[in-house]
Amino acid sequence: MVFDKVKEILGEYVDSEITMDTAFDDLGIDSLDMLDMVMKVEEELGVEIELNPSINTVGALVELIESK
């Protein structure tokens, strides 16, 4: 479910195939887009996410959210 929601939100920014291994850099998502996307994820899933450089793939973001 978390992956599906993240994928749905990412779909608002890019028109690419998104998997757990997809790197945000490969999608061309810049820091402002990332911040906006994370705020939407936080709002829709009711979690608080602290961004750091290790969150560089969709899977890393999903794992962080699921650990909350």
Specify the residue for token string 């998104």. Answer: 18
pLDDT at position 51 over 90 = no
Residues 3-32: what's their mean pLDDT? 93
Closest CA to 27 of 15, 35, 12: 15
pLDDT tier at 26, thresholds 50, 70, 90: very high
At 52 the pLDDT is 87
Q: Please say whether the structural domain 2-66 has been given the CATH code 1.10.1200.10.
A: yes
Residues 13, 11: Cα–Cα separation, whole Å: 5
User: What are the sequence ranges of the domains in the chain?
Assistant: 2-66
Q: What single letter denotes the amino acid at residue 1?
A: M
pLDDT tier at 31, thresholds 50, 70, 90: confident
Residues 13-36: what's their mean pLDDT? 92
